[in-house]
Amino acid sequence: MDIHEYQAKEILAKFGVEVPKGALAYSPEQAAYRARELGGDQWIVKAQVHAGGRGLAGGVKICQTQDEIHDACDNMFGRKLVTHQTGPEGKDIYRVYVETTAQIEREIYLGFVLDRSSQRVMIVASSEGGMEIEEISSTRPESIVRSTVEPAVGLQEFQAREIAFELKVEPGLVQHMVRTLQGCYRAFLDFDATMVEVNPLAITTDKRVVALDAKMSFDDNALYRHPQISELRDKSQEDPRESRAADRGLSYVGLDGNIGCIVNGAGLAMATMDTIKLAGGDPANFLDIGGGASPERVAKAFGLVLSDKNVQAVLVNIFAGINRCDWVAEGVVLALKEQQIDIPVVVRLAGTNVEEGQKILAKSGLPIIRATTLMEAAERVVGAWQRDLSQGTRLRAAQ
């Protein structure tokens, strides 16, 4: 789960990371009022969307007067911000963050991520802040500093000082840098984050270390332990399909293809998508319905997959261990009867109660295409989709 910049800054500030003064606004008028509250003679207005590259897309504006703030916000609210991270569909702007500006002497990149190879939290830093880490990696790889944290002891002061020295932080600011590094690490650890990024972390002309931007992402599976973090979720910034799936306890990731997938188990779901590609099709989603799925849960999964208007065929691939094939078969029949599905549906069942499941599908009288192996299922769903596509093309030509 991602959160907005202003939310990440509020969290980091509680752990001793210095951030600029700022306030949230939901309208141009409120943004101008926030600037008056903050004081000063220059402000920066930032669109709050879950994406990077906001500045290049017009989502960040420096303003000298309250009229400029009003005009900048008037151009932001209600439109979609399109960046290299959002794709062409963009993200809707519903709120902005108004901040005081800082006089920057130099910028640093700072990131905390979970390194799966070492099974440790890794700190990635660079003296070339203000750029995306991918750009830094390609243009200035020698500037990147990496350091893994031993989980038994956490981020120690000597380790934080070493990072500060490698970043060539001047001696008088090393302790401030140590406090910033340790604050970010504690926030990462205490809230089960998967990423904390401060870019840029600025050293100002008045010798302060300030987080000018911040991003945080959290482990969805740990949110039950942090209700205060769950409350920060902004569904308007999420794929509506993925949001609906999360609300129903399903693991779903939307893709760009047209063959919907309903599978139990993440590994099998990945194999299913690969096999569809091998057979000449394109998967429309990753969907893991989990173990012990009831007929109602399977029917809900159908509804979720079919909410994607690009889906032109569905493949159900179940290898039942904890699950049961007869439950899945009942769910498929229930979904087809309730939702009047008029696209090809291919079902492959294996494992517990597979014979009972096959009987339920056969007795239903519904146009369900059955398969016994994954490759066969993929070939049949791709073939059925292509036939439907061809028939639709001929029908339109005849009309």
Flag whether 303 is marked binding: no
Flag whether 264 is marked binding: yes
Q: Which of 210, 269, 239, 282 is nearest to 20 (CA)?
A: 210
Beta strand 368-371 with 120-126: parallel, antiparallel or unpaired?
Answer: unpaired
Angle at CA of residue 366, ends 362 and 372, nearest 5°: 45
Q: Which of 150, 211, 219, 214 is nearest to 191 (CA)?
A: 219
- Write out the H or E segment, with its range, that includes residue 359: helix 354-363
First to last CA, the chain: 47
Q: Which residue has the tokens 């519903």?
A: 94
Q: What are the DSSP calls for 322-348, one per residue?
A: SS-HHHHHHHHHHHHHHHT--S-EEEE
Contact 363, 330 (CB under 8 A): no
* CA–CA distance, 379 with 82 (Å, rounded to integer): 37
Using a 10 angstrom Cβ sphere, with 0-12 exposed, 13-18 middle and 19 or more buried, the burial of residue 365 is exposed
What are the residues whose beta carbons fall under 8 Å from the beta carbon of 363, sequence distance 6 or more? none
- The DSSP secondary-structure symbol of 283 reads B
- The DSSP secondary-structure symbol of 373 reads S
* CA–CA distance, 257 with 235 (Å, rounded to integer): 23
Flag whether 53 is marked binding: yes
Flag whether 99 is marked binding: yes
Active-site residue set:
109, 197
Contact 149, 123 (CB under 8 A): yes
Flag whether 300 is marked binding: no
* CA–CA distance, 143 with 105 (Å, rounded to integer): 18
Flag whether 46 is marked binding: yes
Q: Which residue has the tokens 């429309």?
A: 284
Beta strand 313-320 with 259-263: parallel, antiparallel or unpaired?
Answer: parallel
Q: Which of 46, 56, 25 is nearest to 215 (CA)?
A: 46
Annotated binding residues for ATP: 46, 53-55, 99, 102, 107
Annotated binding residues: 46, 53-55, 99, 102, 107, 199, 213, 264
Annotated binding residues for Mg(2+): 199, 213
Annotated binding residues for substrate: 264
